[in-house]
Amino acid sequence: MSGGFLEDTYRIFDMAEHIESEILKNGRYSYEYSGNTIDKFKYAVKILKEASIYAHRIDYLLSGDDGEEKFHKRLAEDLKGIK
């Protein structure tokens, strides 16, 4: 099955990736965000990546691909991988 109960969960991760790209471009072009703003961007990336993991793991649970025990185990493992 591989998920499918929740549609487009990958888009949350894509948002995080786009923000990370903007962090890397900061100061290289016509705009430059302050350190405080970049810190907020970094925090948003962390939160979006966590949300992406939660959505993905819940999708697998609701779709019947994972049981509750596997859900909790994989969720914890995936969350450990966030920077």
- Residue range(s) defining the domain that contains residue 26: 10-80
Which sign, positive or negative, has the C-alpha torsion 67, 78, 8, 45? positive
Would residue 44 count as lying in a domain?
yes
Would residue 5 count as lying in a domain?
no
Would residue 38 count as lying in a domain?
yes
- Position 31 scores a pLDDT of 84
Six token digits for residue 68: 């509750």
Contact 62, 5 (CB under 8 A): yes
| C-alpha dist (Å) from residue 59 to 26, 44, 56, 67 | 34, 22, 5, 11
Contact 52, 12 (CB under 8 A): yes
Q: From the first residue on, what is the mean pLDDT of each consecutive set of 10 residues in the chain (83 residues)?
A: 72 96 90 95 97 95 95 97 80
- Position 82 scores a pLDDT of 86
- Position 1 scores a pLDDT of 47
Would residue 35 count as lying in a domain?
yes
Q: How many domains does the chain have?
A: 1
- Position 30 scores a pLDDT of 76
Would residue 3 count as lying in a domain?
no
